[in-house]
Structure 1
Amino acid sequence: MTYEIEIGRGKRGRRAYSLDDVAIVPSRRTRDPKDVSVKWQIDAYQFEMPVVAAPMDSVMSPATAITMGKLGGLGVLNLEGLWTRYEDPQPLLDEIAALSEENFSPAATLRMQEIYNAPIQPELITSRLAEIRESGVTVAGSLTPQRTQEFYKTVVAAGVDIFVIRGTTVSAEHVSREHEPLNLKQFIYELDVPVIVGGAAGYTPALHLMRTGAAGVLVGFGGGATTTTRRALGIHSPLASAISDVAAARRDYMDESGGRYVHVIADGGLGTSGDIIKAVAMGADAVMLGAALARAEEAPGQGWHWGQEAHHHELPRGDRVKVGTVGPLEEVLYGPSHHTNGTSNLVGALRRSMATTGYSDLKEFQRCEVVLAPYQID
């Protein structure tokens, strides 16, 4: 049953909750953390942890994507980023890291817009993906819906294993008078590789994305550390409610399709291990991490984090934020941790929380009890 609240005489709205508003309740059973499995499989690809590295230049380079793969996760390269615009992007990454530390700096935003104005070079898409493939890890690349038609043949020809279509929000039905929009259902049907698509922030848009044949749906809108979407566009969807809504769409789509399972991947606003744990508890199969991995020593952002929204040529609605560095990528994921704030040993924390509440794998943990317990900052 859905309860709406009267906002005023002319508008009603459903109450939604962020991950900070919920808490996990221990059950009658506990387990040894060593007996807990955090393995995740999508299509034919199995991973040692349910972690996908976000396709953001501050997080993933070809080298860090390879490291991520060898550590048991999935690294997704941004195929519209600096690595496909410049033969050697390191000087540009250094420059971005050295820009003004002032928040919402127009000068820093202008310079980033200039840097990202360089054209995407298809041959660099091919060479970057080939570099990852040569290492033997699963190859994944990301394009926005606006660029997919233009570059997807190059991406597929380069030998990508998993294709990601990621935008601030992605719908199965995009209407435009100016150009022929991407037909997601036809596109996915004709593609020979699994597609992860999103973001989606509610039951109905997620259900429509699942009907296109996507292997996974990204859940999130405007909740990440780098976005200012709520301030710029007035759009926001608290993630705990969004994940629960999309998990319900996954359940109903399974009944509708005769058992086809679509993976729900939480994306945005997952800065600490506690956020990751609660995302899975709310129904996510895996998480896509940006800021949490931008804190690794190997991250290209050098302690800074930004997304594609930060350098949009017309309406930038993101910021370059200082996240700092906490240790090597392996330590961030697997520990040992020397931080008490949930910024390292992310996978170990997930495993321990599952053990503390008595669950042995991710699917079981999705059934754990949660309560509303809004976090109060003193």
Structure 2
Amino acid sequence: MTEIEIGRGKRGRRAYSFDDIAVVPSRRTRDPEEVSVSWQIDAYHFDIPVIAAPMDSVMSPATAIELGRLGGLPVLDLEGLWTRYDDPEPLIEEIVRLDPAKATARMQEIYAEEIKPELITARIQELRRAGITVAGALSPQRTQQHWKTVVDAGCDLFVIRGTTVSAEHVSGNSEPLNLKRFIYELDIPVIVGGASTYTAALHLMRTGAAGVLVGFGGGAAHTTRTTLGIHAPMASAVADVAAARRDYLDESGGRYVHVIADGGVGSSGDIVKAVACGADAVMLGAALARATEAPGGGFHWGPEAHHSALPRGARIQIGTQGSLEEILFGPGRFADGTTNIIGALRRAMATTGYSDVKEFQRVEVVVAPYSGS
């Protein structure tokens, strides 16, 4: 593995983002209609390898139900406004209208309201009544406080999502969440992350997680690289975690852990390259926040934007590109990879001759930094 000398006292490994690589066509091609983009995690099957990021600008109960109907996996933020307020829509509208200079401070005030367990139960049961697969997300800090409410309400999949999640968190102030013990004692599959290195991902896989989220600091609404100096170039991160999955498969005697690219997946081309690097699915934030049904109304923000002590994100304007169905399945009305993203994935797989997502992970890629031309 090639290292570059940063200075006489420091060396660093060269890492690549999705913009730095490209997929190479092979000798075989297929019809896009004959390509399968479905995937399955545990007992749950999905028509498309798309998971909605648990962000208030992306997922409300209504948009979660719509994404589930379209074949994806919606994840509701169980620390968001929908579990803090009976009717959060006026507050979401206020966030959208905020002056940029005052947005962070006002969002901190809005999100200071306590999470209400009865609202967690109500939102999960609303999704259950719609007949979709129900997934909810908590941060590692809130998991011990609310996990029982989530499970008792009937959640199918539980997501533990943070900027970075470690299987070996060390704390001198409180008893940290023991992921291995927690996951093995839970009766539902758990997806956990983010992780961006081979070692961190391997440790998370050993906790019994059904899936690992890859990446941190690379989302459109994050400023983690600016505030913390932390960033994970996603092509290298996904490939590293895919290698951990392969080695854990041997180590565990055949237990397969799903790799989910989370962050830096803003266009259909990024989705193609994420799968090519080894991802089984992608978690999308900004890409789905551009839907006309998205709660953010053309604006996008994540939980990092309203952190009470150290905000590491921003409310950004991304506009709208079409309905959720148009963003996923077209017809595409823009040539920038923001609409008909599943159609683009199908065409890329067909152009390179692969019939399903697992096969496409073996496609040849090259390092080809994008020049903008």
TM-score bracket, normalised by the shorter chain, equals: over 0.9
Structure 1 segments, 4+ long, off by >6 Å, are none
Cα deviations across residues 162-217 of structure 1 (Å, max 9, x unaligned)?
A: 00000000000100011000000000011000000000011000000000000000
Paired position in structure 2 for 1:289: 284
Q: Give the alignment's TM-score, normalised by structure 2.
A: 0.99
Matched residues in 2 for 1:377 and 1:282: separation? 22
Matched, 1:371 2:366: yes
1:339 pairs, out of 334, 340, 361, with 334
Paired position in structure 2 for 1:86: 85
Paired position in structure 1 for 2:262: 267
Paired position in structure 1 for 2:355: 360
Amino acid at match of 1:172: A
Cα deviations across residues 131-163 of structure 1 (Å, max 9, x unaligned)?
A: 000000000000000000000000000000000
Structure 2 unaligned segments of length 5 or more: list them.
none
Query: Post-superposition shift, 1:5?
Result: 1.0
Matched residues in 1 for 2:264 and 2:303: separation? 16
Amino acid at match of 1:17: Y
Amino acid at match of 1:93: I
Matched residues in 1 for 2:89 and 2:217: separation? 28
Cα deviations across residues 227-253 of structure 1 (Å, max 9, x unaligned)?
A: 000000001110000000000000000
Query: Post-superposition shift, 1:221?
Result: 1.1
Matched residues in 2 for 1:358 and 1:88: separation? 49
| SS of the residue 1:245 aligns to | helix
Paired position in structure 2 for 1:38: 37
Paired position in structure 2 for 1:189: 184
Amino acid at match of 1:325: T
Amino acid at match of 1:87: D
Amino acid at match of 1:69: G
Matched residues in 2 for 1:111 and 1:296: separation? 25
Matched, 1:171 2:170: no
Matched residues in 2 for 1:120 and 1:67: separation? 25
Query: Post-superposition shift, 1:377?
Result: 2.9
Query: Post-superposition shift, 1:269?
Result: 1.1
Matched residues in 2 for 1:280 and 1:324: separation? 26
Amino acid at match of 2:157: I
What percent identity do the matched residue pairs reach?
74
| SS of the residue 1:197 aligns to | strand
Matched residues in 1 for 2:200 and 2:213: separation? 11
| SS of the residue 1:178 aligns to | coil
Amino acid at match of 1:189: Y
Paired position in structure 2 for 1:24: 23
Once superposed, what is the RMSD of the aligned Cα atoms?
0.6
Paired position in structure 1 for 2:247: 252
| SS of the residue 1:288 aligns to | strand
Query: Post-superposition shift, 1:3?
Result: 1.2
Amino acid at match of 1:83: W
Paired position in structure 2 for 1:326: 321
Matched residues in 1 for 2:326 and 2:28: separation? 29
Paired position in structure 2 for 1:14: 13
Structure 1 unaligned segments of length 5 or more: list them.
none
Show the 5 A alignment for 1:147-166.
Answer: 147-166=142-161
Query: Post-superposition shift, 1:324?
Result: 0.4
Paired position in structure 2 for 1:64: 63
Cα deviations across residues 307-345 of structure 1 (Å, max 9, x unaligned)?
A: 000000000010111110011101110111111100011
| SS of the residue 1:74 aligns to | coil
Matched residues in 1 for 2:232 and 2:77: separation? 24
How many pairs does the alignment contain?
A: 373
Paired position in structure 2 for 1:280: 275
| SS of the residue 1:165 aligns to | strand
Matched residues in 1 for 2:28 and 2:371: separation? 29
Query: Post-superposition shift, 1:225?
Result: 0.2
